[in-house]
Amino acid sequence: SRLEHELQHALENDEFELYYQPKVEARTGRIAGVEALLRWHHPRLGLLSGGEFISAAADTGQLVTIGEWVIGAACAQSRLWRDSGMDFPTLPIAVNVAIPQIYADLPEVIERQLRKHGVPPSSLQLEITESLVIRDVEKATSVLKEISESGITIAIDDFGTGYSSLSVLKALPIDILKIDQSFVRDLGKDLGDHAIVEAIVNMARALALRVVAEGVETHEQLTILRELGCDEHQGYYYSRPLPAQDFTAQMLHIN
């Protein structure tokens, strides 16, 4: 398709940008981390969000190359924040990782980008979408173990929507569960969603995992999530994903 063809030029033309969205710690109200979300300044179609082109990139096998750009850009941003001289905590930046990246020398890619930008592994967090089938669980487990042992935290994204069995969850070196926003949307209206979120929080607690709620938009959702003991909240209630400069200004405001 035309989009797939144009993707080939997006990297060379420097058309990608990372937007940043805060994750706020329930206990303190402070920013605990930040998720990087890929945007494409398309010359013809304007600003595209990940949902509009990630699957096209996956179809053409460009996700691995774009994924390394994302990791590099996050490391560069971490370097900038560390050098900014502002009173910033050294927030881990979470990048979304597609399954094919795991099988394409992900530990080496990460190591190369960390070294290039001179930042420690604690600068990064990986978000792996649960809805993607992990074909070779043994290989994925050993790759993620290597990454985890280097000091990078790993989150399962969109938790509750996918195919991963609880035994996969037990096998993978996971630190964080991110509750999919579809379960958060109707909290306060839908008793089923309430029960599901409660069950995920309790399971996370039992497995000593941190649990993050995504898609938090209202005060009512926030109140319920606090009652249920969710550790971190992310969503438009606090901030939309923003360009780095705007995020920086916002961060000073929240913290």
By the criterion CB under 6 A, which residues form the site for ligand G?
21, 37-38, 49-51, 54, 63, 70, 95-96, 98, 127, 129, 157-158, 181, 214-217, 235-236, 241
User: Cβ distance 21 to 240 under 8 Å?
Assistant: yes
Q: Count how many Cα atoms sit within 13 Å of the Cα of residue 163 in the half-sphere of its side chain.
A: 6
From CA 9, how far away is CA 16, in angstroms rounded?
A: 10
Segment lying near Na ion (by CB under 5 A), choices 100-108, 153-161, 182-190, 229-237: 153-161
Size of the site for Na ion (CB under 5 A): 3
State how beta strands 46-49 and 31-42 pair. antiparallel
Quickly count: other Cβ atoms within 10 Å of residue 145's Cβ.
15
Element (H, E) at 31: strand 31-42
Of 123, 25, 11, the C-alpha closest to 78 is 123
Determine if 157 is a binding residue for Mn ion (CB under 5 A): yes
Q: Which is nearer to Na ion, 76 or 169 (CB)?
A: 169
Quick one: how many helices (H) and strands (E) in the chain? 11, 10
Quickly count: other Cβ atoms within 10 Å of residue 132's Cβ.
18
In the list Na ion, ligand G, Mn ion, none, the entry touching 98 (Cβ below 5 to 8 angstroms by class) is: ligand G
State how beta strands 93-97 and 31-42 pair. parallel
Dihedral sign for Cα atoms in the order 229, 233, 236, 238: positive
Determine if 127 is a binding residue for Mn ion (CB under 5 A): yes
Determine if 232 is a binding residue for Mn ion (CB under 5 A): no
Q: Which is nearer to ligand G, 214 or 231 (CB)?
A: 214
Determine if 68 is a binding residue for Mn ion (CB under 5 A): no
Determine if 130 is a binding residue for Na ion (CB under 5 A): no
What is the nearest approach in angstroms of Na ion to the Cβ of residue 161? 8
Say how many residues make up the chain.
255
From CA 17, how far away is CA 185, in angstroms rounded?
A: 28
What is the nearest approach in angstroms of ligand G to the Cβ of residue 126? 10
Residue nearest to ligand G (CB): 50
Q: Which is nearer to Mn ion, 17 or 82 (CB)?
A: 17
Q: Which is nearer to ligand G, 20 or 81 (CB)?
A: 20
Q: Which is nearer to Mn ion, 6 or 157 (CB)?
A: 157
What is the nearest approach in angstroms of Na ion to the Cβ of residue 253? 25
Determine if 130 is a binding residue for Mn ion (CB under 5 A): no
Q: Which is nearer to ligand G, 98 or 222 (CB)?
A: 98
Mind giving me the DSSP string for 11-26? Answer: TTTT-EEEEEEEEEET
Q: Which is nearer to Na ion, 63 or 114 (CB)?
A: 63
List contacts with Na ion (CB under 5 A): 157-158, 214
Sites of contact with Mn ion (CB under 5 A): 96, 127, 157
